[in-house]
Amino acid sequence: MYKVRTYNQISSKGLDRFPRDNYEIASDFAEPDAFMLRSHKLHDEEIPASVSAVARAGAGVNNIPVPEFTKKGIVVFNTPGANANAVKELIASALFMASRDIFGGMNYVQGLTDITDGAEMSKLLEKQKKQFAGCEVAGKTLGVVGLGAIGSMVANMALELGMNVVGYDPAISVEAAWRLSSDVEKMENLQSLLGRADFITLHVPALEVTRHLINAEALQCMKSSAILLNFAREEVVDASAVQNALDNGGLGKYVTDFPTPELLGRDNVLLMPHIGASTEEAEENCAMMAADQLMDYLENGNIVNSVNFPATKMPRNGGYRITFCNENVPKVLGNVLSLLADRSMNVIDMVNKSRDDIAYNIVDVETEPTAELLEEIRNVDGIVVVRSL
């Protein structure tokens, strides 16, 4: 029986994926096999030695100490793409709100509380509506920085709105490239994209290399009328540099769901809570994907959508399964295979993958591994975690 400790309010559709004859789900297990969470922060928590995996029902993993978990052999999963449509739709609304002063117009109407005559209100609004005029997005150029699950959907959507779309992503995956329309013009570098676009939308993860990707230097590459959208991560944009550009006429507008105090109260800034994935459908999709990935790992050792371990998957072809992760150094796999050979254990199938400083292995053998053998594997230099499934 596997035990999964949950944090936050996980969608019931995700929790219902776990068959109750093989899984127990609760928020108070002392020694769970895995965690499942949304935004709960694990940085300051003591992690039980029993935990082998953490599934985050969402894309970002800033609330999880990933490097620390990697050293312990804990696989961290996220759910890229599960909330992509929800974010895409919010980006569409942001484009429209930034191109016309919809928000200002709505606030103006709500403020007319002293007018009780409908004809008078209609006449006044007809006279004042010009102050909320704007432009259409059709025919404008949208620059999409990051062409993953969300970025590619945003790019394709913008094409359907009649926009010209340029994109930049030096690390685009084959899967993302297949999703992307051929009408999206790929740019060789970020500066070229920033100089072309009327609207710029960011869809990159929060990494050290993307920290303040949009800074004072990048802002100087943009048109002075450009509108910048950040629905990715707060760290991707230097808020103080954006504030200076807005003050000096170097940027037209800034739209984000990562508000900071210095940006409050400005007419050329649209701020909202971090609500990109806050739809019922997105929460359900994320929870279901997280549950499926967690079960496949706990039961079969397969890894899909991990942020710290290599993607590793092998079908069951009979026999017994051993999985182990190790430091990515020479001879570890060979030493483990030697232990199996010493016991005349035939290997049916195996797969070995590595990612940065960690390697992961799935080995199917004909005979059931003993506790003694598993302990010997644990004692091999470089081994981090061993599991028998």
CA dist 206 → 60, 200, 210, 363 (Å)? 8, 17, 6, 34
Contact (Cβ atoms closer than 8 angstroms) between residue 383 and residue 332: yes
Question: Does 206 or 68 have the greater pLDDT score?
Answer: 68
- Spatial strand order in the sheet of 347-355: 347-355, 358-365, 320-327, 383-388
Contact (Cβ atoms closer than 8 angstroms) between residue 33 and residue 51: yes
CATH of the domain at 336: 3.30.70.260
Alpha carbons 251 and 239: distance in angstroms, whole number: 12
Contact (Cβ atoms closer than 8 angstroms) between residue 220 and residue 248: no
Regarding whether 192 and 118 lie in a shared domain, the answer is no
Per-residue pLDDT at 334: 96
Q: Which among 43, 57, 73 is positioned nearest to 7, based on CA atoms?
A: 57
Confidence band for 225, pLDDT divided at 50, 70 and 90: very high
Mean pLDDT of 184-198: 96
Facing residues of 354 across strands? 359
Q: Show which of 221, 245, 271 is a domain's final residue.
A: 271
- Is pLDDT at 273 greater than 90 in this prediction? yes
Regarding whether 300 and 182 lie in a shared domain, the answer is no
CATH of the domain at 51: 3.40.50.720
Kindly report, residue by residue over 28-86, the tens digit of the pLDDT. 999 999 999 998 999 989 999 999 999 999 888 989 999 999 999 999 999 988 999 99
Kindly report, residue by residue over 298-329, the tens digit of the pLDDT. 999 999 999 999 999 999 989 999 999 999 99
Regarding whether 161 and 258 lie in a shared domain, the answer is yes
- Token pair in block for residue 371: 């506790």
Q: Counting beta carbons within 10 angstroms of the beta carbon of residue 346, is it exposed (0 to 12), middle (13 to 18) or buried (19 or more)?
A: exposed
Q: Show which of 213, 244, 271 is a domain's final residue.
A: 271
Name the residue range of residue 258's domain.
90-98+135-271
Q: Judging by DSSP bridges, how do beta strands 199-202 and 269-271 pair with one another?
A: unpaired
Residue in the structure block whose two tokens are 């869809």: 203
Per-residue pLDDT at 164: 98
Kindly report, residue by residue over 106-160, the tens digit of the pLDDT. 999 999 999 988 899 999 999 999 999 999 999 999 999 999 989 999 999 999 9
Residue in the structure block whose two tokens are 């696989």: 75
Regarding whether 227 and 332 lie in a shared domain, the answer is no
Regarding whether 229 and 94 lie in a shared domain, the answer is yes
Regarding whether 261 and 346 lie in a shared domain, the answer is no
Per-residue pLDDT at 173: 77
Per-residue pLDDT at 81: 87
Mean pLDDT of 276-297: 95
Regarding whether 146 and 116 lie in a shared domain, the answer is no
* Annotated catalytic residue within 38, 56, 196, 233: 233
Mean pLDDT of 7-13: 93
Per-residue pLDDT at 207: 84
Active-site annotation holds for 179:
no
Contact (Cβ atoms closer than 8 angstroms) between residue 260 and residue 244: no
Regarding whether 295 and 249 lie in a shared domain, the answer is no
Active-site annotation holds for 274:
yes
Per-residue pLDDT at 59: 82
Regarding whether 368 and 286 lie in a shared domain, the answer is no
Per-residue pLDDT at 352: 98
Alpha carbons 130 and 104: distance in angstroms, whole number: 12
Total tally of structural domains belonging to the chain = 4
Contact (Cβ atoms closer than 8 angstroms) between residue 226 and residue 255: no
Regarding whether 227 and 373 lie in a shared domain, the answer is no
Regarding whether 248 and 164 lie in a shared domain, the answer is yes
Active-site annotation holds for 46:
no
- Is pLDDT at 212 greater than 80 in this prediction? yes
- Is pLDDT at 89 greater than 90 in this prediction? yes
Share of the chain above pLDDT 70, in %: 100
Instruction: Identify residue 89 by its one-letter amino acid code.
Output: E
Alpha carbons 73 and 78: distance in angstroms, whole number: 16
Instruction: Identify residue 80 by its one-letter amino acid code.
Output: P
Per-residue pLDDT at 229: 98
CA dihedral angle for residue 278, residue 282, residue 287, residue 293, rounded to 10 degrees: -130
* Annotated catalytic residue within 266, 274, 316, 387: 274
Regarding whether 6 and 16 lie in a shared domain, the answer is yes
